[in-house]
Chains A and B, each alone.
Chain A
């Protein structure tokens, strides 16, 4: 039995499953935690006898209402998104390669949750998609992998048609279920990856609450959609020591930036502050006064960049923050990754680039991952497959690895040069 919440691999027992014999479907899988619906509590004894954890009702809450500082060991977000390509976004013009589909993705939300409750295990669920009949079994793999890639968990949930087919012994359903279980096993075998911390040159700090919630959380969401790597930081936790890997800090809130951050700026950091948030700081020479939205001051070897007015457009702010830092500092670039989301995380000596494909079908052109940091080898990890080496080639912006087609999820593990 998995004794720590962090090790629970949860499954939402379907309402339509009344036969305890269906527990047999979970034998020899990584699932060790069952979320039983109220109508199926009579299965609890059998489930616990079989070694499953059956927690009392999990307190799912809206992320905006969760008491983050007192989240305890489990922070359960009940209002995530079902991960998919949304029909509501994108540019409809058909001339040339313009526009991009909108993705309903949760990475930004988990990064914020991790910043606000760093000790908690993060669980995430969402309302099911509008029409579960259109779902593929690979949707579940994306849903589970998305949370896992960001070091959180999404309880595995099955749409009623799939749950019923599986319970009825439908051979295609059993086959798809088997593949899903293999993917979960593959993730369990890589449990140490969950300790990897996000790696990005840009930090975005806020208390993510009250009047600051909209601009800060929307900026996280839109930065993720723009493919901008960031580390979310709880405002009160930002120190020069925590900014060792960062080149820029976006201070989202109209709240004074601590003077303790000045040495970090003067040693080369770029502080992008909301209007008035750095008014106590001494001003250096104006380095650039033509930016329409910011005044840019020299500060030692770094920059103090102060917004002319309070931040109000998170899309513009996310793009501005990235450009004010400069893309030259990007550690990872992806090519042909239009409908992918990715997360760069670091373990000692290794970098992990998680790639999530929201189209659920292989891209038309192969995805290439360019790494600007010194690395000497790369391994490709695909769910339920053994890792295999990727050829590295040198291109103008760094070393690159190109991936074979993948429909849902892949991870490139780079080994740092020693």
Chain B
């Protein structure tokens, strides 16, 4: 089976030997009810992977990189709700997926995140959240962790260029683990987002960009030695360019408005580093925003899991399960004040957001829907 990245390359005519998907053959998406992170979780995820056709063909003897969603400080909570039941991917989902990937024959699994405002080992970041990283490292045969804000085990940052021109960026300099892998997986959280309306698998990839290059304290010419701060100055507001050593933002007549910019940058990132597998944890999460720092957020328990090989399709299914129309445009929920990442990704050729063209397995959206704005 061609990988997603190969498919995009093929579509751009850059890998003629690899057949492109036809527009009508949208990759399937599996959806399921899962009430909690207990004993039902692993069999549910396992069944979903089977519904997708199995993981073996995708990961056997491959290096698999897994981007987690650990946004914000591990010490910050929405009220008394632990991060894993609100803004962070739950470790039980991560561990279950590591086990499934490993059992499907993955040679190596790397768990990755640009940990909030720091360059410390990811394991230590997890301890700070009260998690036990050893449980994740022992969930599969050869599991590693890396904080991708810094070069980590690589000696340098790696450049990933999209096969087609981007909206604002044609490529990015990233930690080696996003390049030195055969399969790219996102395990994100089902959430709304203050800037992008929703944050699922694709928006999760915004967090693969190292703050040493794309953060507010990024070096001017070269990546900063220390990883600090968020990505406000460069990505959100466009007040400055990333470190000069990295691909620069292209000239644009677009507004310096993060609700216009960030959806486009997300799509640019996903084009440069496409996902092969998109898993979304919607069992216990939050509504009203992506983190405790948003006003009016609240804990919710949709009891949902979503997974698929197509990043746009999977996010579209997740959007529908949240009670939104994935075909919505700017001005319509959940994109009242921002552009739709789904629409931009579809226009970029990354997949379809049209549920009518999608093959959704495991249940019907209308039966499982959990309205985030009930």
Which A residues are within 8 Å of any B CB, using their own CB?
91, 93-99, 227, 319, 323, 326-328, 330, 333-338, 365-366, 368, 370, 395-398, 400, 402
Contact = CB atoms under 8 A, between A and B. Distances in A.
B130 A370 contact: yes
Given A396-B82, A398-B130, 10 more contacts: A95-B236, A97-B72, A97-B73, A97-B76, A98-B230, A323-B124, A328-B132, A365-B77, A396-B84, A397-B132
Contacts of A336: 75-77, 292
A95 B216 contact: yes
Given A93-B232, A95-B236, A333 B130 contact: yes
Interface of B: 72-73, 75-80, 82, 84, 91, 116-117, 120-121, 124, 127-132, 216, 228-233, 236-237, 291-293
A397 B79 contact: no
A96 B75 contact: no
A368 B292 CA distance: 14
B293 A335 contact: no
17 contacts: A91-B216, A93-B229, A93-B232, A94-B232, A95-B237, A96-B230, A96-B231, A97-B230, A323-B120, A327-B128, A333-B130, A334-B75, A336-B75, A366-B80, A396-B84, A396-B129, A397-B127
- Classify the interface of chain A: helix, strand, loop or mixed: loop
A400 B72 CA distance: 21
A365 B130 contact: no
Contacts of B80: 366, 368, 400, 402
Contacts of A93: 216, 229-230, 232-233
Leading 10 A-B pairs by shortest Cβ distance: A95-B232, A397-B130, A96-B230, A327-B127, A93-B216, A402-B80, A95-B230, A98-B230, A97-B293, A98-B229
Contacts of A333: 75, 128, 130
B211 to A, nearest CB: 9
A96 B130 contact: no
A225 B273 CA distance: 38
A98 B127 contact: no
A96 B120 contact: no
B19 to A, nearest CB: 41
Contacts of B73: 97
B230 A330 contact: no
Nearest to A396: B130
Contacts of A338: 75-76
A91 B117 CA distance: 11
A94 B117 CA distance: 13
Contacts of A323: 120-121, 124
B130 A395 contact: yes
Contacts of A398: 130
A326 B124 contact: yes
A97 B291 contact: yes
B137 to A, nearest CB: 12
A328 B133 CA distance: 9
A93 to B, nearest CB: 4
A326 B131 CA distance: 13
A335 B173 CA distance: 33
